[in-house]
Amino acid sequence: MKAIPFDNHSAQRVYNDYIQRCRKATAILSAKDREEVLLEINSHIYEYLCANSTADQMEALLNVLERLGAPEETLREMVATKKIGEATRTFNPKHLIQALALNLTNGVLYIILSVLFLLEIVFPVLIMLKLIYPDRVGLFIHSNGTFLYGYISKAGSGGISIGFSNPARGTEILGSWFIPVSLLIAVLIYIGIIFFLKFAKKIKMKQNESI
Amino acid sequence: MHQIIHCYTKYILYLCIMKAEFMENWHTQLRKGLLPFFVFIILEKKKCYGYELIQDIKVEFDIDVGEGTLYPLLVRLAKEGLLTHQWEEQPSGIPRKYYSISLEGKSALATMKSYAGLIFKKINE
């Protein structure tokens, strides 16, 4: 990115400081997205200064920076939106965690997706437990119709579990299939999170239309 | 009696402030809601870069949009596929990011125009 040159030394310092703050505010983005945001901010400052070239340079710069606002505030939404794009494009869990964290305050859907993501951690733990305690981990179906997907302690009560746990131990039906089934569920949940993240805005818009 | 008049004046003043606040809030919400519509209308005529778009919205619709409102909106609309953009090099060495309305955006604009038309028709009935 080409920096804007200023005749006024103080203006140059203020400008450099602002760009530096923008760099920090966009540090979480990929290099390409970050450069694009910085280029656009820089272009906006430049165009404003050109359009107000008759005014004092320092005054004009302060005006445009005031209009742009604090980078940490102004760029928050842009960064959050771009991060979702990165997460859905790359399927990278690191980007997914960052996208969910940045959008956590943007609605209930993001909270639900974050909880689902936390659920993802349960499956590798269960797979490890299945390898250590094969008899205590699995899908237990009880004669009364309730089931437990997870770990049962020696006493018969559920440890890590999904489903309706029953203290009385039922019959384990998956056996060694528990590991591939758990992996499959984890992958499906992951794809589901990405899918909902990708279409969250559209879902929100549809909800608004129906109001 | 004097006290009653004083209380009544205060009450009227309170109502005026409430009304002004309500109207201001309503204006803000309306402007915010209509902003994508204004952006589409301007971009339907020509491609624009961010600063130019702010100036055009000011001239055409008499609304001073903050940069902190417009740029996130442009990112969202581009993500939805309603806008496209391209960087154009300038003699200054500082490129401009030009936004254009996409085919999907044009279709959205047509829907918005017909819906807005319907609403204003109902209001004026």
Give the 3-state secondary structure of A186-210.
Answer: HHHHHHHHHHHHHHHHHHHHHHHHH
Taken in order B75, B81, B82, B88, the sign of the CA dihedral is positive
- Mean pLDDT confidence for A112-140: 86
- CATH number at B75 reads 1.10.10.10
Of A39, A73, A84, the CB nearest to B95: A39
Say if residues A81 and A28 touch (Cβ distance below 8 Å): no
CB proximity B96 to A under 8 Å: yes
- Mean pLDDT confidence for A132-144: 83
User: What distance in Å separates the CA atoms of residue A172 and residue A152, rounded to the nearest whole number?
Assistant: 11
Of A43, A46, A73, the CB nearest to B68: A73
- Do A23 and A75 sit in the same domain of this protein? yes
* A77 contacts B72? CB cut-off 8 A: yes
Of A4, A43, A82, the CB nearest to B95: A43
Q: Over B7-42, what HEC string results?
A: HHHHHHHHHHHHHHHHHHHHHHHHHHHHHHHHHHHH
- Mean pLDDT confidence for A161-180: 72
Which regions in chain B score pLDDT beneath 70?
Answer: 1
A138 part of a folded domain: yes
Mean of pLDDT over chain A? 83
- Do A75 and A165 sit in the same domain of this protein? no
Say if residues A142 and A168 touch (Cβ distance below 8 Å): yes
Q: What is the pLDDT of residues B76-95, one digit of tens each?
A: 899 889 999 999 999 999 99
- Mean pLDDT confidence for A14-32: 93
B99 part of a folded domain: yes
C-alpha distances (whole Å) from B80 to each of A6, A105, B40, B65 are 38, 21, 13, 21
User: What distance in Å separates the CA atoms of residue B46 and residue B57, rounded to the nearest whole number?
Assistant: 13
Count structural domains, chain B.
Answer: 1
Residue from A1, A33, A6, A32 nearest A19 by CA: A1
- Looking at chain A, the whole-number percentage of residues with pLDDT higher than 70 is 87
Question: What does the pLDDT read at residue A84?
Answer: 84
Q: Which phi and psi angles does A162 have, rounded to 5°?
A: -125, 130
Task: Choose between A44 and A94: higher pLDDT.
Answer: A44
Q: Which residue has the tokens 């009544």?
A: B8
B72 part of a folded domain: yes
B17 part of a folded domain: no
Domain span at residue B81 reads: 35-124
Find the range with the poorest average confidence among A103-107, A161-165, B30-34, B110-114: A161-165
A2 part of a folded domain: no
Question: What does the pLDDT read at residue B87?
Answer: 95
Question: What does the pLDDT read at residue A161?
Answer: 59
Contacting residues of B for A44, CB less than 8 Å apart? 50-51, 67, 71
Contacting residues of B for A48, CB less than 8 Å apart? 51
- Looking at chain A, the whole-number percentage of residues with pLDDT higher than 90 is 29
- Mean pLDDT confidence for A182-206: 79
Q: What is the pTM of this model?
A: 0.72
B62 part of a folded domain: yes
Question: What does the pLDDT read at residue A209?
Answer: 45
Q: Parallel, antiparallel, or unpaired for β B48-49 and A171-172?
A: unpaired
Q: In the predicted model, is pLDDT for residue A13 greater than 70? A: yes
Of A2, A4, A201, the CB nearest to B80: A201
Q: In the predicted model, is pLDDT for residue A98 greater than 80? A: yes
Question: What does the pLDDT read at residue B93?
Answer: 92
* A47 contacts B67? CB cut-off 8 A: no
Q: Which phi and psi angles does B74 have, rounded to 5°?
A: -60, -40
Query: Edge-to-edge strand order for the sheet containing A171-172?
Result: A158-162, A147-152, A137-141, A171-172
Question: What does the pLDDT read at residue A210?
Answer: 46
Domain span at residue A183 reads: 107-210
Count structural domains, chain A.
Answer: 2
Question: What does the pLDDT read at residue A156?
Answer: 54
B16 part of a folded domain: no
User: What distance in Å separates the CA atoms of residue B63 and residue B55, rounded to the nearest whole number?
Assistant: 9
- Do A126 and A97 sit in the same domain of this protein? no
Question: What does the pLDDT read at residue A208?
Answer: 46
B10 part of a folded domain: no
User: What distance in Å separates the CA atoms of residue B102 and residue B94, rounded to the nearest whole number?
Assistant: 25
Say if residues A137 and A165 touch (Cβ distance below 8 Å): no
- Do A204 and A178 sit in the same domain of this protein? yes
Question: What does the pLDDT read at residue B96?
Answer: 95
Task: Choose between A129 and A16: higher pLDDT.
Answer: A16
- Do A185 and A131 sit in the same domain of this protein? yes
- Do A58 and A128 sit in the same domain of this protein? no
CB proximity A9 to B under 8 Å: no
Give A66→chain B minimum CA distance, Å: 10
CB proximity A204 to B under 8 Å: no
Contacting residues of A for B68, CB less than 8 Å apart? 68-69, 73-74
Hey, which residues 56-95 in chain A have their CB within 8 Å of chain B? 67-69, 73-74, 77-78, 81-82, 84-85
Question: What does the pLDDT read at residue B40?
Answer: 97
Q: Hey, which bits of B1-125 come out as E strands?
A: 48-49, 83-88, 96-101
Q: Which residues contact B108 (CB under 8 A, 6 or more apart)?
A: B40, B82
Find the range with the poorest average confidence among A13-22, A139-148, B84-93, B109-118: A139-148
CB proximity B21 to A under 8 Å: no
**Among candidate residues A58, A74, A103, the one where a domain is terminated:** A103
A199 part of a folded domain: yes
Interface test with A, best of B59, B80, B94, B97 (most A CBs within 10 A): B94
A149 part of a folded domain: yes
Contacting residues of A for B67, CB less than 8 Å apart? 44, 67-69, 74
- Do A98 and A114 sit in the same domain of this protein? no
Say if residues A140 and A152 touch (Cβ distance below 8 Å): yes
A188 part of a folded domain: yes
For residue A169 the two structure tokens come to: 């131990």
**Among candidate residues A103, A135, A159, the one where a domain is terminated:** A103
**Among candidate residues A45, A71, A103, the one where a domain is terminated:** A103
Of B49, B66, B80, the CB nearest to A43: B49
Q: In the predicted model, is pLDDT for residue A16 greater than 50? A: yes
* A68 contacts B80? CB cut-off 8 A: no
A168 part of a folded domain: yes
Give A117→chain B minimum CA distance, Å: 23
CB proximity B76 to A under 8 Å: yes
A4 part of a folded domain: no
A1 part of a folded domain: no
Instruction: State the pLDDT confidence band at A211, using cuts at 50, 70 and 90.
Output: very low
User: What distance in Å separates the CA atoms of residue A167 and residue A48, rounded to the nearest whole number?
Assistant: 69
Q: What is the ipTM of this complex?
A: 0.80
Question: What does the pLDDT read at residue A164?
Answer: 52
C-alpha distances (whole Å) from B27 to each of A202, B20, B23 are 25, 10, 6
